[in-house]
Amino acid sequence: MPGNTLHQYLEIAPEVAAAIAAGDPVVALESTIISHGMPYPKNVQTAAAVEAAVRQCGALPATIAVLDGRLKVGLSADEIQTIGELGRGAVKCSRRDLPFVVAGNKTGATTVAATMIIAAMAGIRVFATGGIGGVHRGVEETMDVSADLEELARTNVAVVCAGIKSVLDIGRTLEYLETKGVPVIAYGTDSLPAFYVPSSGFRAEYRADSPAEVATAMKIKWDMGLDGGLVITVPIPDEHALNKDEIDTVIDDAGAEMHRQGITGKDTTPFLLASIAERTGGRSLEANIQLVINNARFASALAVAFSDLKRI
């Protein structure tokens, strides 16, 4: 639980605080996917569906955001509605942004990195998202590397996702994570998933076939003082996956358009996701929704397994 200093900035919903204090399973959820990842009202509907999936699987959801300068862990339905309606008007918060958003009493949506930070402050160890950020294509010219990777190297939170986002340089992202000592695990497969498709063509270094296997590795890692997170990749269900050749072509075209428009930095991923959704007639958005819900289910099972281990 947070110390006295953090209480100046951190506000945990009573239900979530009680679960953390009791050692019950809690799953952190990000808010950038609501504000920047999907259009309104689909974003609010998806957030509600993800929270419902977590509850149905035996854990408690804790959606995280910054509201009026407060780090909020566990949003109400009205607060999620606020983030959803605000959309890109919310500050997209990573590690560097949090002090200034809090100081300015602003409202911000948390990326993977910022969600990890706030989850760790609250004492939550499992976090579900869509896909993690990474090394962007063309990094040799732009030096664009997501802050998510540095956060994974330093913050003790397990991140459940559908793999590294397809719009990124997956090979270089894996090399970066290896250098930083971040384990990448594929659930139920030997191949690393790639967001919209079940397989990226890259072999996973570690495979796990049950949430208990991952929970055991988490506990041992942190018991040994090996700080940093873990990435657990869960393939998108086959019935919701897109065709790999088609989506690769769409991503290439969207990337070329992004470069023509000179879009860089934190605007790249929102632009690419919107462009890909338009080019696929909305099929990529539906795939995104389904993979997030699927990730939330696995994260809940993982949180339950980790909670059980800690009680032994």
- pLDDT, residue 1, reads 53
Confirm if 46 and 292 have CB atoms less than 8 A apart.
Answer: yes
**Residue 69 forms part of a structural domain:** yes
Find the catalytic residue in 30, 72, 221, 266: 30
Full-model pTM: 0.93
Give the integer Cα–Cα distance in Å for 139 and 116: 24
> Could you give the number of structural domains in the chain?
1
CA-nearest of 73, 67, 75 to 44 is: 75
Q: Which domain holds residue 291?
A: 6-311
* C-beta atoms surrounding 298 within 10 Å: 24
- pLDDT, residue 252, reads 81
Find the catalytic residue in 72, 165, 221, 266: 165
**Residue 1 forms part of a structural domain:** no
Helix (H, G, I), strand (E, B) or coil at 179: helix
Is 246 marked active-site? no
Assign residue 13 the CATH number of its domain: 3.40.1790.10
From 138-147, 220-229, 235-244, 268-277, the region with the lowest mean pLDDT: 138-147
**Residue 70 forms part of a structural domain:** yes
User: What is the number of helices (H) and of strands (E) in the chain?
Assistant: 13, 11
What digits encode the pLDDT tens for the residues 229-246?
Answer: 999 999 999 999 998 888
Cis peptide preceding 41, ω within 30 of 0: yes
Say if residue 4's pLDDT is above 60. Answer: yes
**Residue 108 forms part of a structural domain:** yes
In this prediction, residues 194-209 reach a mean pLDDT of 92
**Residue 290 forms part of a structural domain:** yes
**Residue 227 forms part of a structural domain:** yes
- pLDDT, residue 65, reads 98
Confirm if 184 and 192 have CB atoms less than 8 A apart.
Answer: yes
What digits encode the pLDDT tens for the residues 51-86?
Answer: 999 999 999 999 999 999 999 999 999 999 999 999
- pLDDT, residue 311, reads 82
Is 30 marked active-site? yes
**Residue 140 forms part of a structural domain:** yes
Helix (H, G, I), strand (E, B) or coil at 74: coil
Distances (CA, A) of 285 to 155, 240, 259: 29, 11, 22
- pLDDT, residue 240, reads 94
Q: Mean pLDDT score of the chain, rounded to an integer?
A: 92
What digits encode the pLDDT tens for the residues 148-178?
Answer: 999 999 999 999 999 987 778 889 999 999 9
**Residue 146 forms part of a structural domain:** yes
